[in-house]
Structure 1
Amino acid sequence: MMLRRVARPLLASVFVADGWRAVRHPSAEVEHLPQAHATLTSLADRAPLPLSADLIVRAAGAAKIVAGGLLGLGVAPRAAATVLSVLHLPTVAAANPFWNSHGEQRKEQLVGFLRDSAVLGGLLLAAADTAGKPSLGYRLDTARHHAADKATTSAKHARRTAKIAKVAARQTVARVPDKAKLALHEVTDRG
């Protein structure tokens, strides 16, 4: 659909640009989010590898570039949108803490929070978009119902065939002469 070919690159461009900025200038990104600096530093200190806040920001930026590129190109768009959603969640919470502000600054941060939330909503829609194809869950459910229907049909067919065979056996026995019937009963009684 043409809409997806336009909408996905538009949505992805924000993350590619944001990721590029984070990779090139991680210190500016950390300074832009003062609340995140303490969190990133404590995360880096607890990591088993030697990390810094700048390295974490660069890694997240690189992930945004890759996932944004994949989303924009339409390669694994659902997975890319899911990754971008996870990477965007901290931004939604940390970039615009309107609950700590007052007056005009609060209004600006609230607008920023709503804008970031809207982008997150777009990512969630992109993550759920099956591009007109049934989801994996739907296909599995349909296959299960199809298999159950086939088994039911096979069982009905087997019962019908058994009834026909029983009627045919009775008709055959009815046509056999009396002496043969006696011999047949003797054989069946012994076996």
Structure 2
Amino acid sequence: MKPVRTAARAMLASIFVIQGVRSLVKPDATTETASRVTDRMKPLLEKADPRIPTDARTLVRIKGASDTIAGLALATGHFTRPAAFVLAANLVPTTIAGHPFWDRSRPDAKVHQTQFLKNLGLLGGLLLAAVDTEGRPGLGYRASHAVDRSQHSIKRSQRSVKRALRTAKREAKIAAMSAATARRLPG
């Protein structure tokens, strides 16, 4: 199963690495398309932090760097879950801005629909990679089972304490009876 995961992650990541490098080297090729999203995000980015660049060209390059780094991480098996999550998050605005198939006035609406659906498939693969624990239990599972084990451990401890108290009571009773018997004996 491991070779299949490794190959699948590399195949899934390849498009992001290639497109990321292209965006870094030639950001102007996608700046106009990206500006449909970046222009809407500009007020939000400026409000969040005025130091954040808001021009489409810079944001395209930042996304390109992010896709390249996350794609390489996913392909090489390093930080695969966070890398897949970053790629999935980056894919959503790209898909919406780049493939508006719902605009039927465009002559290339069918092509955009195909590309939109391809990106939707990639998003599904990335989401699977983001939750893939490679056969090991996930964090949620481990946390819930740790709680269960702790509760069982506490119950066992409580039973042990109750047993020890009953034993101590019995022994105290026996000791008291022995002391009373010893006082009654002539001596």
> Smaller-chain TM-score range?
0.7 to 0.9
Instruction: Name the % identity.
Output: 34
- Structure 1 or 2, whichever has the larger Rg, is 1
1:27 match: 28
> Which of residues 28, 35, 38 is equivalent to 1:40?
38
2:121 match: 118
| Two-structure CA RMSD over aligned residues (Å) | 2.1
CA–CA distance in structure 2, aligned partners of residues 123 and 97 of structure 1 = 21
CA 1:147–1:43: 2 relative to 1, 3 Å: closer
Q: Gaps spanning 5+ residues in structure 2: where?
A: none
Q: What amino acid is the match of 2:63?
A: A
Tell me the TM-score normalised to structure 1 length: 0.84
Within a 5 Å distance, the mapping from 1:125-144 to structure 2 comes to 125-144=128-147
1:152 match: 155
User: Tell me, what secondary structure is at the counterpart of 2:137?
Assistant: coil
State whether residues 13 and 72 of structure 2, in contact with CA within 8 Å, keep that contact through their aligned partners in structure 1.
yes
CA 1:141–1:43: 2 relative to 1, 3 Å: closer
Within a 5 Å distance, the mapping from 1:37-186 to structure 2 comes to 37-41=35-39, 43=41, 47=46, 48-49=50-51, 51-101=54-104, 105-177=108-180, 180=183
Q: Which piece of structure 1 moves more, 56-65 or 139-148? A: 139-148
Deviations 1:104-152 (Å, cap 9, x if unpaired)? 7332221111111000110011001011111112111111111111111
Q: Which runs of 4+ in 1 moved over 4 A?
A: 41-46
Deviations 1:1-45 (Å, cap 9, x if unpaired)? 1111100111111000010111111111123x2xx3244246457
CA–CA distance in structure 2, aligned partners of residues 7 and 126 of structure 1 = 9
CA–CA distance in structure 2, aligned partners of residues 139 and 42 of structure 1 = 41
Q: What amino acid is the match of 1:23?
A: L
CA–CA distance in structure 1, aligned partners of residues 170 and 64 of structure 2 = 77
CA 1:145–1:9: 2 relative to 1, 3 Å: same
Q: Which piece of structure 1 moves more, 14-23 or 91-100? A: 91-100
